[in-house]
Chain A
Amino acid sequence: GENVEQHPSTLSVQEGDSAVIKCTYSDSASNYFPWYKQELGKGPQLIIDIRSNVGEKKDQRIAVTLNKTAKHFSLHITETQPEDSAVYFCAASIGSARQLTFGSGTQLTVLP
């Protein structure tokens, strides 16, 4: 089955700096890659997703890049703010209607 690895497990950045979280996946058939933000005690919230027919997608301060050949995708957050502090999970699936395989999560801390 699919295996998703996520790095780093923890990341601290100064407010205003950029943060990058990287994930690799094992199943070349995976074609849907969402990113979720999870605050303490709450369910995951979708922040951005990308499908395999696209190499990059951007939504304001958040961007995701996908390299299908290398089977890795990354989340980029620019101009970080303290409210960006949370755990971020990457995930992969074969089609968005199928079950997701999650990465291990990254605790992002934005220092004021």
Chain B
Amino acid sequence: GAVVSQHPSRVICKSGTSVKIECRSLDFQATTMFWYRQFPKQSLMLMATSNEGSKATYEQGVEKDKFLINHASLTLSTLTVTSAHPEDSSFYICSATTGTPGNTIYFGEGSWLTVV
């Protein structure tokens, strides 16, 4: 079936640096990708919706200048956490869909970010 791949699965970075997480749809064209954040033992919180070739739509309370999202192709979206701080440490998960009504949303395996 359809597969969504995230990379890296785990990353540790120093405070103040930036880190990029990639989300790829491996066998379908994802017109829409979603980025979520999940804290331990909590649910998934939508951060932003990314449509190929256009600017991402951010949820209320999510800083667009801190969490840069790029969806330059139909198979790749990237999330860059800029000037990372320890409170940005979290599990980041992407999902992707073809955008066709009736199609399924597929999730990536997630990326653990630890800011030290």
Compute the total of residue contacts between A and B using a CB distance below 8 Å.
58
Interface of A is mostly: loop
A8: interface (CB < 8 Å): no
B75: interface (CB < 8 Å): no
Residues of A within 8 A of B108 (CB): 43
User: Which range holds the interface residue count of chain B?
Assistant: 20 to 34
Stretch of A63-71, A72-80, A98-106 on the interface side = A98-106
User: Which range holds the interface residue count of chain A?
Assistant: 20 to 34
How long is the Cα–Cα vector from A50 to B64 in the complex, in angstroms? Answer: 33
Which of B82-110 touch A at CB < 8 Å?
A: 91, 93, 95, 97-110
11 A-B pairs (CB sep. < 8 Å) = A43-B93, A43-B109, A46-B105, A46-B106, A51-B102, A97-B97, A99-B34, A99-B46, A100-B34, A104-B43, A105-B43
